Structure 1
Amino acid sequence: MGVQGHHSVGGAVSKNAGRLIAAGAAVALILLCWVAAAGALPRGIVAERYVEGLANPTAMTIAPSGDILVTEKGGEVRLVRDGNLVAGPVVRFSPTVKGQAGLLGIDVFDDFAESGRFIVAYTPASDPTRIWLSRARMTPEGGEVLEDPWKVLPNNPDSDRNYAGRVEVADGHIYVGLGDLGRHNEAQSTRRLPGSILRYNLDGTVPADNPFGTAVYAYGFRNPQGFETVGDGTLWVVDSGETEHDEISRVVAGGNYGWPVVIGHCDNYPLTEVCDETSLLDPHYEFRWQTRVTGVAGYREGLMPALRGSVFVTGRRYGELHRLVSTADGRRLELAVPFFVLPGSEPQAGLVDVKVGTDGALYVLVGDTPAGQILRIAPREDVLDQNAILEEGTELRPADTPVCTVSQVDAAVPWSQGALLVICLVLLVWALRRREVPRAVTICACLLAVLTLWSAKVHAQEARWGVKAGANVATVSGDDVVTASLAPGVTAGVASRFEFNEYLAVAPELIYAWKGTGIDSVDDRHLSHHLTLPVFMEGRLNFGWIEPRLTAGPAATLVLSARTGDQIMTDRLNRWGFAVAGGLGADFGFGSGMMTVDARFERGLTEVYDDRATPHYIRTPENYNNVAYLLVGYLF
């Protein structure tokens, strides 16, 4: 042959194996995207910009007249009337604005039409150890503060998170959601207030029928961000989890919702004996990725009758409005197709509240930005201003359009894994007959990686994208290896990461590598150009300024070109192939993203040479590529 020991990455898969792979991919796609028409949304519902000009809005309430009162984090209560933001505040409070602190929640009293009275919750600048409930009222001239404070709740001056502070006036009582204030264990106390839903009479006294003789009505919450009372008297609450496991629950008197003993559903918790504790209540739905739930609204009747009975939840992390529907037995909620996703023009913005208007439309509050606004979601024919319709991501899917939804993927993944197992068994039988076990195992690993990547895309609480570059050193192992020297090459590419939680992530990459190797029997170096698509599973630890990682996974490879001196070698090599790779890495926080460093080793599983391109009377050595990489990068 003249030259042996050339290195390259590539592989030849038989025609039958190729057909099996194609069939397996088709089966997986069908299973993952199988959606009944009932899961889609009605035709022609759009979102329009209703009001703009709000500064970091945090919550809103809709009066019987249709007026909307909005709280701004800096302390002002603003009035929206007939689609216009009234100049100047109704009233102004003086809150501490730090982290989650500020003007937090608002609701109107039942007699608002006559009295103009409403209640707010905020963290006062004058007393950082407390959260104040204050009462005010609207007047023809604007508004006035009546009692400030009216009621005083505890706070933790050493923490700037988990305040909650949403309020709801319903059934002749005032409900207040109080976060755990960073004091996690107090959420399991019925005598202490943090981590609880509090219930007061309208005069501020504790109702005689409260279950524990205190203001605590239900407990075991981390950060209850939103309330809604629906027509049958059901009080829904959304509770923001620590890194994921956001919850929506129906509040019952005396209920213990688990935090910090249980996060999410009981059977998710590693301490299985907790699941035998019948006093802990499971949520009606658990988001198994972090959406940072903020508001909740039940849709009873109005412009969109097909949505009757739906529960809507806003999330600030990805700007999503989720629609949930009751299961057949009425005991749980399940996620329908995502209802609305905020266009990406304002990446810092999130959805912080949702209400059903007196006109039957949905009103969504966009906060976490100085350019806050209210969106109105309604049928196209009921839009108030056609020019205000958002151009991106607003036309909801018609009922005959198939889509993939989170809940349907949850159901499809086990079936997909079963189909994948059958495909792998067929491939292994083929491999045993062809003596191609490493290749078949790698094909199965790649199929599993694709399924895992799909699951990661659906369930990831955070996705990052970036670039990587560095150096590589390549060599060859196997028969008759005559490689005498190693020469460094260069590597560059794009990277992504889908984080399930703070410990586990999936990280696909697309890497170009220019590689070189010195050959004993040839004066010229052997040079080759490759594309590699690895899909890594990453296990991570967090030590503050540094996050070390362990990575491992399969890789598909393609030889772009190869030559030894002036001799073109590309046609003699297996162009496509498979490999396994693994190594160590570390992340360092830098700006809004992170710097990455990776040291990894890649072991080829496909022979370098293509038997079909070599005359039968010449023995083809069984050689395999080995490559070591040192890479640095940045993930945004």
Structure 2
Amino acid sequence: MLRPTGVVETIAQGLQAPWSILRLPDGGVLVSERDTARIVEVSADGSLRVAGTVADVVPGGEGGLLGLAHLPGAGGAGGHVYAYFSAASENRIVRMPLSGAPGSLSVRAPETVLAGIPRGASNHQGGRLAFGPDGLLYATVGDGGDGDAAQDPDSLSGKILRMTPDGAPAPGNPFGTLVHSLGHRNPQGLAWDDDGRLWAAEFGQNTWDELNLIEPGGNYGWPVVEGRAGAAGYLDPVLQWSTAEASPSGLAVMGDSLFLAALRGERLWVAAPASSGAPEAAAAFVGEFGRLRDAVAGPDGELWVLTNNTDGRGSPIEGDDRLLRVRLAAG
């Protein structure tokens, strides 16, 4: 199991309510800012520059510019940056042509990939995007404050979606629609392990936050159950935490370890649910960096973590928000 060594370095600072880290194949780094609608490039020296501002973003509550993903072009260069964002009355997924080299990256005008994702209330937007090992695009969608919609297979609310890069339902989806799994409250973490299994992190309501192993067509219980219930017809989480300890957002997998960025819990959870015997989890950096929004695998076996103290719910200090480098070691 990989664990933080305790050595943490600041890669960049001065970000405004950042939400998603996107590492590109050519070494470029982009970060979305929820409330400014900016996609910010983090240069090698830690300086920030705006690579583009996404049109039609209407921030409010937990909505705004959220998850980013990248689909390379021919030969691995360029391609498109995908973004999930909140518009005035809906959530959308768009894609934007990417040009330039690290230090001068630019995203151009967006093309809509999927519109009409329910926005609902000001919270529970979901918003994580990721391309899976199958080359398909996955998106997490919150229930928008309408728990019953999470159990409705005809609604996009409270789901994990699986689609082609053009936004069509992926071949083989369990219901013949965009829906890959259902019964989610507010999932914001997606990551695949070395065996190709999909993991998701999810906000609970008042009792339990969850780490789930996602199965096609699986029903994860919300709002009927929260956390482990052992109820027929619903899949229990592999791990659960009290909401005060977690409020999980971004999720990364490195080797047999999962790294979960916790907001309210102000810590990094390190879990090895695939290990033999009982699932294992431990907390790191409790209260040291404030709210943590995203975690991704960095170069050379390190982990990159994004703080989120300027989102209106945190207590920012000088330099917030920051992109951090966390050194890891087996242990």
**2:284 maps to 1:321:** no
Q: Which residue pairs with 1:244 in the alignment?
A: 207
SS at match of 1:259: coil
- The change in CA–CA distance for 1:367 and 1:205 in structure 2 (over 3 A counts) is same
Distance 2:115 2:276 in 1: 41
Distance 2:257 2:287 in 1: 20
**2:301 maps to 1:366:** no
- Segments of structure 2 that go 5 or more residues without pairing to the other structure are 312-319
Distance 1:319 1:56 in 2: 15
Q: Which residue pairs with 2:317 in the alignment?
A: none
Aligned 1:69-88 pairs, distance under 5 A:
69-73=30-34, 74-88=36-50
TM-score, normalised to structure 1, is 0.47
Contact 1:226-1:238 within 8 A present in 2 as well: yes
Distance 2:112 2:10 in 1: 35
Q: Deviations over 1:369-397 (max 9, x none)?
A: 173111101169xxxxxxxxxxxxxxxxx
SS at match of 1:185: helix
Q: Which residue pairs with 1:59 in the alignment?
A: 20
How far apart are 1:206 and its partner, in Å? 1.1
- The change in CA–CA distance for 1:110 and 1:235 in structure 2 (over 3 A counts) is farther
Aligned 1:292-441 pairs, distance under 5 A:
292-300=247-255, 309-326=256-273, 328-329=275-276, 333-336=279-282, 338-343=283-288, 349-369=290-310, 371-378=320-327
SS at match of 1:341: coil
TM-score, normalised to structure 2, is 0.88
SS at match of 1:359: helix
**2:82 maps to 1:119:** yes
Contact 2:131-2:137 within 8 A present in 1 as well: yes
Q: Which residue pairs with 2:240 in the alignment?
A: 286
How far apart are 1:83 and its partner, in Å? 4.3
Q: Deviations over 1:61-104 (max 9, x none)?
A: 21223322110012000112324233233343342221101101
**2:161 maps to 1:161:** no
One-letter code of the match for 1:299?
M
- The change in CA–CA distance for 1:93 and 1:333 in structure 2 (over 3 A counts) is farther
Distance 2:275 2:86 in 1: 42
Distance 2:324 2:105 in 1: 24
**2:82 maps to 1:136:** no
**2:132 maps to 1:177:** no
SS at match of 1:84: coil
Distance 1:146 1:376 in 2: 31
CA RMSD of aligned residues (A): 2.4
One-letter code of the match for 1:259?
W
Give the stretch that moved more between structures: 161-170 or 139-148. 139-148
Contact 1:58-1:72 within 8 A present in 2 as well: yes
From 209, 222, 225, the equivalent of 2:188 is 225
SS at match of 1:186: helix
One-letter code of the match for 1:54?
L
Distance 1:372 1:135 in 2: 26
Q: Deviations over 1:303-331 (max 9, x none)?
A: xxxxxx1111110113200111136547x
How far apart are 1:152 and its partner, in Å? 0.3
- Segments of structure 1 that go 5 or more residues without pairing to the other structure are 1-38, 268-274, 301-308, 381-397, 400-636
Contact 2:291-2:308 within 8 A present in 1 as well: yes
**2:171 maps to 1:208:** yes
Aligned 1:518-597 pairs, distance under 5 A:
none
In proportion to residue count, which structure has more helix?
1
One-letter code of the match for 2:162?
R
How far apart are 1:123 and its partner, in Å? 0.7
Q: Which residue pairs with 2:7 in the alignment?
A: 46
How far apart are 1:145 and its partner, in Å? 3.0
**2:216 maps to 1:253:** yes
Distance 1:334 1:280 in 2: 23
SS at match of 2:181: strand
Distance 1:367 1:239 in 2: 17
Distance 1:195 1:95 in 2: 21
One-letter code of the match for 1:115?
G
Distance 1:169 1:40 in 2: 24
SS at match of 2:50: coil
Contact 2:72-2:79 within 8 A present in 1 as well: no
Contact 2:301-2:328 within 8 A present in 1 as well: no
Contact 2:3-2:328 within 8 A present in 1 as well: no
Contact 1:240-1:293 within 8 A present in 2 as well: yes
How far apart are 1:41 and its partner, in Å? 5.3
Distance 1:258 1:180 in 2: 12
How far apart are 1:259 and its partner, in Å? 0.5
How far apart are 1:117 and its partner, in Å? 1.3
From 220, 224, 229, the equivalent of 1:266 is 229
Between Structure 1 and Structure 2, whose CA radius of gyration is higher? 1
- The change in CA–CA distance for 1:56 and 1:378 in structure 2 (over 3 A counts) is same
Contact 1:319-1:351 within 8 A present in 2 as well: yes
Q: Deviations over 1:94-140 (max 9, x none)?
A: 4222110110110111448312411000012xxx2211111113222
Contact 2:86-2:119 within 8 A present in 1 as well: no
How far apart are 1:287 and its partner, in Å? 0.6
SS at match of 2:51: coil
Distance 1:327 1:123 in 2: 35
- The change in CA–CA distance for 1:326 and 1:154 in structure 2 (over 3 A counts) is closer
